[in-house]
Amino acid sequence: MKNLLVSKNQLVFEFYLLNLILVSLLFYQNITTFGIIVLFALWVWEKNWKEKYIYLINNIGLLILPVLYLIYILGMTYSENIDYGLKKLETKLGLLVIPLLFSTIKSLNDSEKITTLKKNYLIGSIIHILICYSIASYRFFYELYCRKNGIHLEEYPYTNYFFTSYLSFFLHYGYCAMYINVAIMFVYSMFFHKNIPLFLFFVIAIVLSVFVMMLGSKAGIAAMFIIHFSYIIYFIVQKKQINPRTLIYLLIFIMTISLLLVFMPNTKERVSIITDLIIHKKADSISTESTQLRYYAWKASMDLIKKEPWKGYGTGDINDILINTYREKNYVGALKKEINSHNQFIQTFLSIGVLGVIMLFSFFIWMFYIGIKFKNISIIVFSIITFTSYLFESYLETQAGVFFTTIFTLFFFRNAILKQN
């Protein structure tokens, strides 16, 4: 009886810990790290190693990211910059630890608990957005006050307070967009399972979508439209027949998002930059605009891959190699910002060679396979938007990216096993 009570108390504590880990992702990820450390201590204390071993062997895809981490460790053996390499291994440690923890955590065996986790993450996302808008509004009106009273400020962003990095207070705006995109996925899931009424679903979906567009991340906006398109098509196919009220809401929603995309100045400007680069070939090696930076980072990276495709340049040396290449090729903007490849597949190729890239692609193939196997729209969509984001950002080079990849992959994986969407 005592053992059962301890086990029950442990499950309750584990569940609250999961809520803390998920919600803190949106605000302060040092708390997320602390939560994972406590969760790891619980995981070790349980000791049921045989059960965990059998589970992992039966779900071998869960070991792809830990194996990728081991390859990064191997990449240290031919690195000269050991300090930088160790920092990168510390950043990527979640690739090793989180799949082991989340794959066997008992709280994720309960569909009601998963629904509660989604609700709390959604509430956290809305609070996150309200705080960001409040801070942006305060800064906006404070600048107006300073202008009126002749008070000098170091910069005068004015309406830019409501866009990109000025708006995103807690996270880099690109990662913030992706975390809010997960909230959009959650609100669709809750609507499909009738955990949220139709009107509230549309209101929350529009609020979340508008915030993503105001953040101005091109990858984030692309991912947002993939999410909406995929879930709407899925809903229509599943329902086969839509009542007039739902159809009206759906049309209003699509029109609202489309009009905002067309008329929102910051978003419009960023799309035009991509058009100029792709169609009109307007590239500027001095520019520090994100699209221009990526163009030259990719050029330099591809030249380096051709020289050393098999084992890469080492976990610790890749940053030095890239910066030296920018200097040699006179890519002024990229050199000034000292950026990485801004593409996780290229970054992995450069760091640890072809074996690392194979593991990375295997990870996405496995996710897509799980989605198809369990007919789960959420993990399919998550694999697509994560893959898309990896094309424009080196996600595994930051803790926010590692957390996003590992925690939500495992969350959607466990969700799929319970056959929830």
| Predicted local distance difference test score (pLDDT) of residue 7 | 66
Mean pLDDT of the chain: 85
Closest CA to 121 of 256, 252, 19, 236: 19
Q: Quick one: 166 and 66 in the same domain?
A: no
Q: Which of residues 267, 296, 319 is at a domain's end?
A: 267
Q: 147 and 196: one domain?
A: yes
What's the domain count of the chain? 2
289 and 412 assigned to the same domain: yes
Q: Which residue has the tokens 């994560």?
A: 386
Last residue of a domain, one of 208, 236, 267: 267
Instruction: Pull the structure tokens for residue 127.
Output: 């609070």
* Nearest C-alpha neighbor of 409 from the set 375, 374, 380, 389: 380
37 belongs to a structural domain: no
Q: What is the pLDDT of residues 51-94, one digit of tens each?
A: 888 888 888 889 999 999 999 999 999 989 999 999 999 999 99
Looking at the structure, tell me whether residues 117 and 97 fall in a common domain.
no
Q: Quick check: pTM over 0.85?
A: yes
Q: Does residue 404 lie within any of the structural domains? A: yes
For residue 266, the surrounding DSSP H or E stretch is helix 265-278
Claim to verify: residue 99 and residue 116 sit in the same structural domain: no
**Domain assignment of residue 371, given as a range:** 48-104+283-421
And the tokens for 105?
A: 């955590």
DSSP code of residue 79:
-
Residue 84 lies in a domain: yes
d(CA 293, CA 251): 37
Q: Note whether residue 273 is domain-resident.
A: no
Q: Return the structure tokens found at 169.
A: 């207070």
Specify whether 160 is located in the same domain as 180. yes
pLDDT of residue 302: 85
Looking at the fold, whether 318 and 355 belong to one and the same domain comes out as yes
138 and 255, same domain (yes or no): yes
Considering the domain architecture, whether residues 133 and 178 belong to the same structural domain is answered as yes
Structure tokens at 75: 């990449």
Question: Does a structural domain hold residue 57?
Answer: yes
In the structure, what pLDDT confidence band is assigned to residue 272 with cuts at 50, 70 and 90? Answer: low
Q: How far apart are CA 421 and CA 418, in angstroms?
A: 9
pLDDT tens column, 194-206: 888 888 998 999 9
Q: CA nearest 253: which of 221, 209, 222?
A: 209
Decide if 274 is inside a domain: no
Query: What's the rounded mean pLDDT across residues 219-225?
Result: 90
